Structure 1
């Protein structure tokens, strides 16, 4: 057996214990108190295994980010992982059933974060030479579009030679992700005019009716041939049933394959006009992550990963996916980026979210050997 994989197998129970340690520290993106508490547990692991205090990047609204650094060299490998989750406190519980580990964020992406820590630990403990510097960013707001960590990631990307992302691989195939759609997020606030629904209905201007018309138009922009999807994922408005509603807000998520298409849709959304006089529309948000398109350098990086995988008797594949990640940011800055290097499992953003225990040695060893081969 490969000595790195053998090391991981020998420490599998400890790895699982570490996964439990941070999964049970629930960390919803919009709850700074809980997310910071999870960050402190990650910090505890850095101190325990490396005697190292990661730099803390303090944020006011979201959880604080952590920056871990290891090794020396002229070139830099940037590891990206987030520890915020889409789950509110108490939505899911940690549990182990046969080969599966369940819990909030265990797949997306706390399992991958712990695997990355152990990949670095294997390099240290096995005294594997490394001629590059590793910068490991653990961020707290990826699930809401990385509003506070985006500039941190981009600053690191400017001085990095490679970016490896700990998001999970493609479900089923285990493929790494060499391409992703770009994403945009918008909220449209609609202001109408309230009136009594029985006595003065004609005097009112319904914000909800306007929202419905805007939704129909926006959803009509979906074009599967182009790879463009528009999803109105939230609708809020009104209140009492006997009042013509004067407020409404809709939230929109947009995915595209090209920068040109992202800009085109952005112009359309930002130029929306009301269908009736007396209404006002306010558009918030914009383009969030550019498309991550496969390029020559990214292809070389995948080719190396595939070669490393063969040493572990793995047949590694690549894929283009619709979901976005922080890898979109680094790839757009010209940094060779490889995504999907995290834990294997199923149920991202679903109540059956889980990882597979038997895949932990393979994927952790793959990451470790890839880092050592760069």
Structure 2
């Protein structure tokens, strides 16, 4: 996973108009000084992300990709809104600096935020840590997502950030539609089975609603360089209002995804590594949230649904490759993993056919 680490020369087709960007930064970025140096982050599967270095400080720029986009995708405006609200509430996110919705500046909408220094673990087993250190980092992951789900959406000013209630039904419908409407990416038999199975096995929705991250995993967090403190949670493109257990069980997938999948460590010796078991990690979250453990039937649905959703994202990456708008240098790997992930998602259902 270290192929995603750091920033490098901007990839062909993703260049930014330096003069126009410099002029905009001079007007909108605090303490800006030119000249600027622009590199592109190797990570990030959807919205192209850049590191901008100046003589005074560094910034991060996130923009929409060029070309035709699926409806509702790549909403950098929503990312800017949610991190603005969370930063004001003291939740660990980069400080948002400015949003530009004018396509004329660099060709697409974008926003700029502070550059947070620290440590990103691209390998989900957090190598180079001792077992005790690893346990502390996993506890920090657990505490951070529980803290997010405990924030009051009214106090955040995000009561209209999504539609509370019927979260799973709406999400199944959304990702089924995105999968089915992306003709360039083709079809997969296990995805088709899940499109039919998931609506018939929805868990009861208790109406719980919180800000949900949508892609919470270790490599979307910046830790302090020498400890388990979380300095920033990144990549809010998939955030909305939703059911906290749905968001947490997406994070919990790391226990069941193989190492070649993003964020997975199935088959690892958890005890030797100092990583809590899946059951203990789930129990810790439920204790922090003061909610009951999900039933076995509910957990089967949550895992099948979240793997289906991730497979639909990979399917969308496959479509973006076909359209020439894939932002990541490693997009092909994600697309190639889609059939295996869809098969694993179907296996979570417990169905034999």
**Which band: TM-score by shorter chain?**
under 0.3
Task: Return the index of the structure with the highest Cα Rg.
Answer: 1
Q: Work out which structure has the larger RCO, using CA pairs closer than 8 Å and 6 or more positions apart in sequence.
A: 1
TM-score (normalizing by structure 1) = 0.25
| Structure with the bigger percentage of strand | 1
